[in-house]
Each structure stands twice: as C-alpha cells, then as structure tokens.
Structure 1
Amino acid sequence: MPSFFKYAAMALAVAAPFASAQTYTDCNPLKKTCPADAGSTESKMSFDFTKPSGLNKWKTTAGKVNAGPNGAAFTVAQQGDAPTIETDFYIFYGEVSVTMQAAPGQGIVSSIVFESDDLDEIDWEALGGNTAQIETNYFGKGDTSTYNRDTWPAVANPQTTFHTYTVNWQKDKTVWSIDGTPVRTLQYSDASGGSRYPQTPMRVRIGVWAGGDPRNGKGTIEWAGGATDYSKAPFSMYVKSVSITNTNPATSYTYTDNSGSSGSIKMNGAGTLNETSVSSGVVSATTSATDSKSTATGTGTHTTMATTVHTTATSSIEAISTGSSSSIDASSSTSKSGSPSAASSSAQPTASYNAAPSVVASYLGPVSLLGLVTALLQL
C-alpha cells in the first residue's frame, strides 16, 4: 500500500498540514529554477528530545510538539490533529537514526519521512494497530503511478517499546535498519534503473496523523488499518532522540538543471577533504566545516559532488567515484515489482572503489600547485 501522503488529495482537510506536505513543494526544480536549499556544514548532529534544546534546528509545521522525559511527544487528541516537525536544513546523502515509540490506536500513523524539493522520498511508517510490523517505502520524483515499493519488516511491539529506526541513504544504495539490524536494502538500479532512486537533498520530517479518520478516502483508511475511534484518544508517539550524519555538508544545495539527478546538485560553501588515506581500495577522508579553498582564494567555492559516503564515529567518510550511479551489490534479490525483498537485506557487501585519482585531482591538486609555486619563489 502507498505511503500516507500519496492519498493526500483524498485526506481530511484539517489533517492536511502533515499529510499534504508530503506531496507539496514550494518550488519543484524539475519544472523551474528554484532557490537553493539551506544545508548544514556540520557532518554529524545529535538531538536529545528529552530536553527542549533538542528541538533546536527543527521547526514545527503542524500542531504542538513538546520535549519531555519520554522524549518529544506527538499527540493526536482529536480529529484533525497532526503534530509534525522537520529539520530547518537539508542533507545530501547520509544516515538518520530515530529512537521512537510509535503511537497506538487503530488508523494512527507514526511517520519518519525524508523528502526533497523534487519529491524524492524515503519513509518509515508505523500503524497503530499493527503490533508486529513497520512499513518501509520510497518514491522517486513524486511518481505515484505504482504503489509496489513498500515492505513490512517485523518489529516487536513498536507502540510500547522504543526502537531505533535507521536509514543509511547513499548514492549506490539505501539500507533500512531496526536496532542496528538491516531489514531492507534498495540498490540504485532497483529503482527503475536509477531514474526513481532518491538522490536529491532532503529534509527529515517526523509526525503522527490519523490515516483512519472516517472522513478520509476508503483506500487510506484500509491502508491505515481501519477507522480511528477518537473516543479512545489521546494517541501519542514519542521520539527520544535523532542522530543525523550528512555525507556532503554544505551551506546550501542548488539544482543546476531540471534533471533531478544527484550529479546536477551543486554544493555551495562545502567543506573540503582535509585528510585522506587509502585503505583496501577505498579513500577515507575527514570533512571540515570550513572551506579552506574559499579561504585561500577569497571567493566562495561551489562544488558538485555525488559520492557514496559511509560515516564513522570519527567523522571520516569513504568517498567513491563521482561517476554515474550503478548497482553495487548484484546479490540483492528483487520482487516482481522491482523492489528489493526484505529477505535480500541481510549482509550486503560494502561498495569499494579506488577513488584516489579523482580525490587527489579534486582536492590535493590545488594544494600541490601552491606548494610548487611557493618553492620556486623561495629559490
């Protein structure tokens, strides 16, 4: 079944602040030139929602969300409630982990959504009446011509137990994990040959809503698990913490054309690679929030990057070549719809490229030239 927002046109009007936001964009860069998306120069961010300060860098787009001892509370107390928050910045590939206890209640939907301006999307959605599963889903470029991309991995009692839901979204593949265990892997090529693979800068949005509201469309109510009985409200979802790793930190991201491809994204004021080492054919590098090339030249630096990056606890990244995306793990099985099956998401080999030539050329070349000029002047 589709993600909740795919039925936004049929959804209850008062619930629209959350539901319709998923298919709405202030400016679709596939259709016209749009302003740059605000980024973040921090490669790693952690948010403790048991403290009010944890909600810094998040904006409330609907309802009311307050921090508390169980984390931020998102409550549907009556018809029309749909409390929602989203980051005030975008990330360009990365990993997001959310420690959440889903809301109970038939028809109540607890959602974690990544979405871009051109409607690329990655989802987690927990239904209040489903105590044994959670949905994973994705969409590319707002394409709702089919609804066959969802999977339903097992999770124990999500409405009474905190679980950590993680998405590691990279250029070559996306991995959904529950409490550190992968439950689904989507290869780039699995998404209509890559044309529907999420690949543009995204915000992270968290919220709860009543998919089972009696005034919603029949399809929405059935997908959500049945009609919501508001006499049993309130229904509360709790989020204790969120951690975000941004693979390509930058002050902003700009679409340079209308293709919606990762290669068309220009990173403005991006951090540079200031330390590199080669290990097992993979270049490992640490990012700096300061653009040293910008400092050296006195001008703003604009970098286009579409790399696959895996971030470690030491904030290092593994950068692979910036060529066109391709399927890395041919062992991933797919269903008839073209979506990877849940069974294929166990151990996935790590993508490995020798990116040394491109990294050296892109980042060390200017430094080497500067050193040569300095040496000649000293002579």
Structure 2
Amino acid sequence: MGISSNPCRFPPKLALLSAFVVLACFTAPSAGNFYRDAEITWGDGRAKILEGGRGLSLSLDQYSGSGFQSKNEYLFGRFDLQLKLVPGNSAGTVTTFFLASQGEGHDEIDFEFLGNVSGEPYTVHTNVYAGGKGDKEQQFHLWFDPTAAFHTYSIVWHPQRIIFLVDNSPIRVFNNHKSIGIPFPTSQPMRVQCSLWNADDWATQGGRVKTDWTKAPFVAYYRNFKIDGCPVGTSGGSCGFQSQTQELDAKGRNRMRWVQQKHMIYNYCADVRRFPQGTSTECKRPRF
C-alpha cells in the first residue's frame, strides 16, 4: 500500500496511494464499538445503542432529535461510518456525520444528509470550516438509495488535504492552501459527532417543504464505527506526522471526476451570484 512497516514513519518519496485505500500515519484501525468508543450526548432516550454496541439508532420527533459523539478527540485520521438514512418522506430532517472542535473559531468537516419528500433524492451536503469560517459547500445527489441499505461514508483528515468518500469512492478533495491565505484545520483536535435533527426552515427545497410530523418518529441507523486516527490526550497519542503527502491515483481521480460531473448539484466555486466579488482563491487551484 506504499506505507512503511512503522505507520508513523514514511518513505522519503511521495507515495501515490489508491483512492480506495487512503491511509496516513494513523494508529492501528479501531473496530468500533459504540459502548466503548462513543457517548450519547443528547436526545433524552431517543438515541439507542444496539446489537451489543455494533449499531446505534438516532430518532427525531416533534419534541427533539438526538445525537452522539466519539469519546476521544483526534488530530488527523480516517473516520468511517456506515449509515442507513431515514426512509420515505424525510423532508425537513438532517442526518449528520462530522468532525468538530470546540468553542469559537472552531474547525469542522461536515457530511450532512438533507431529507426530501418520498421519491426525491437526498442531498449530501459537505463543508469545511477552519477558524470558524466555512462557506466551502459542495452538494451531491447519490447514485443509489441511501435508505435501502447501509453505505459507508468516510472522512480522511490529513495535514495536506481532506478527502470525502462514499463507499470508498472519492467525491471531494479539499487541499491545504494555507500558504495563500486559505484557512485549513490543522491544529484543533476534533471529535466525531453525529445527529438527527429538524431543519425544515432550510433543509428541503430551501425550506419550502416542511417536516410531516405524522410520519414521526424518524429513525436513522449507524454501524461499523471505525477510526484510524491520532487520539489526543492518551499515551502514544502523538502520530508524528511528517511531510508525507497523500494523493488520489489515476483511478481515484477519474472516479471523482465522474461523481462531480454526474452527481454534483452545487459547488461554491461556481456560485458567482453568492460571491459577486469573485470566488475563493483555492477555486482556481487544481482539485487534486
């Protein structure tokens, strides 16, 4: 895989890794158990750990949603979760999987799944915040029904780039362009956070379609919580990242081009109405 036997030591030359096995200087993969690795943070009983810790459900009704987070904070890593989204009329609901730090000026890397009326596709909303500033949205429609079965969603957070993957297919790369003044999350530890909540003021068709509470409770399912990461505040938690870069290979680049050409529905880099003074500088840089 182009990785030396010591996962925290890299060969001097740039390794071009397959997009479908994007790894870095991480600790050994953690086969997640929600009892061990996560904590329910809100919802008053609406979040439930299932199957001895192998799965977890979040529910939403007219009174409250629910959520959980990882027990550990991490500074870089690969984070995988399988999700099965709310079926049927999910308009107004938002199911999330994201990384976030705490406090003002926070960093965040987002997967948000915006529900829709029956028969219409979910919108996958991605964004990156650094120092409290976001406005880096890209949105997609999926090429499968995300409510019929579990699918894997992954965030690779590396000092040089962030990669979003769906079933191991890259859909987006956000590169570190701090050298030209573009904020990038590199210093604030983040937790995995997940939630199911109501956002019918904006989530579905710009807020025109509201949540149908007669369909409640709405339920989303999570499983196979896996982290190959650098935990903060634990013994041996420093991963000793060096100057290693990770890039998509030709197969990965072609796959991402296909996703973006066929399934991307919004790109902040193309929104001249929203940014009449010009889009952000990184939009003029190569995607890879």
TM range (shorter): 0.5 to 0.7
Residue of structure 2 in register with 1:139 after alignment: 129
Residue of structure 2 in register with 1:170 after alignment: 158
Residue of structure 2 in register with 1:182 after alignment: 170
Query: Any idea what SS the aligned residue of 1:123 has?
Result: strand
CA distance in 2, matches of 1:196, 1:45: 30
Q: Does 1:106 align with 2:91?
A: yes
1:351-372 per-residue CA deviation (whole Å, 9 max, x = no partner) reads xxxxxxxxxxxxxxxxxxxxxx
**Counterpart AA for 2:139:** T
Q: Does 1:93 align with 2:83?
A: no
CA distance in 1, matches of 2:282, 2:139: 9
Deviation at 1:177, TM superposition (A): 0.6
Larger Rg: 1
Deviation at 1:156, TM superposition (A): 1.4
Q: Does 1:62 align with 2:42?
A: yes
**Counterpart AA for 2:58:** F
Residue of structure 2 in register with 1:160 after alignment: 148
Residue of structure 2 in register with 1:243 after alignment: 226
Deviation at 1:97, TM superposition (A): 0.5
Deviation at 1:226, TM superposition (A): 2.4
Residue of structure 2 in register with 1:202 after alignment: 190
Aligned-pair Cα RMSD in Å? 3.4
- Specify whether residues 236 and 251 from structure 1 end up closer, same or farther in structure 2 by C-alpha distance, changes over 3 A only: same
**Counterpart AA for 1:57:** D
Contact 1:108 1:208 in 2 (8 A): yes
- Specify whether residues 44 and 79 from structure 1 end up closer, same or farther in structure 2 by C-alpha distance, changes over 3 A only: same
1:114-129 alignment runs, 5 A limit: 114-117=99-102, 118-129=105-116
Deviation at 1:85, TM superposition (A): 0.3
- Specify whether residues 94 and 171 from structure 1 end up closer, same or farther in structure 2 by C-alpha distance, changes over 3 A only: same
TM-score by length of structure 1 reads 0.52
Deviation at 1:234, TM superposition (A): 1.5
**Counterpart AA for 1:320:** S
Residue of structure 1 in register with 2:275 after alignment: none
Query: Any idea what SS the aligned residue of 1:106 has?
Result: coil
Contact 1:109 1:125 in 2 (8 A): yes
Deviation at 1:250, TM superposition (A): 4.3
Greater strand proportion? 2
Contact 1:172 1:328 in 2 (8 A): no
Deviation at 1:120, TM superposition (A): 0.4
Query: Any idea what SS the aligned residue of 1:56 has?
Result: helix
TM-score by length of structure 2 reads 0.67
- Specify whether residues 271 and 235 from structure 1 end up closer, same or farther in structure 2 by C-alpha distance, changes over 3 A only: closer
1:277-309 per-residue CA deviation (whole Å, 9 max, x = no partner) reads xxxxxxxxxx7xxxxxxxxxxxxxxxxx5x3xx
Residue of structure 1 in register with 2:243 after alignment: 320
The total of aligned residue pairs comes to 225
1:227-376 alignment runs, 5 A limit: 227-246=210-229, 248-251=230-233, 269-270=235-236, 307=241, 319-320=242-243, 335-336=269-270, 337-338=279-280
**Counterpart AA for 1:44:** P
Contact 1:187 1:328 in 2 (8 A): no
Query: Any idea what SS the aligned residue of 1:92 has?
Result: strand
CA distance in 2, matches of 1:237, 1:45: 23
1:194-246 per-residue CA deviation (whole Å, 9 max, x = no partner) reads 6421222100001100111xxxxx44665467210111112100002210011
CA distance in 2, matches of 1:107, 1:115: 23
**Counterpart AA for 2:112:** E
Identity %: 20
CA distance in 2, matches of 1:106, 1:84: 19
Contact 1:184 1:340 in 2 (8 A): no
**Counterpart AA for 1:134:** V
Contact 1:74 1:84 in 2 (8 A): yes
If asked which structure has higher relative contact order (CA below 8 Å, sep 6+), I would say 2
Query: Any idea what SS the aligned residue of 2:50 has?
Result: coil
**Counterpart AA for 1:110:** T
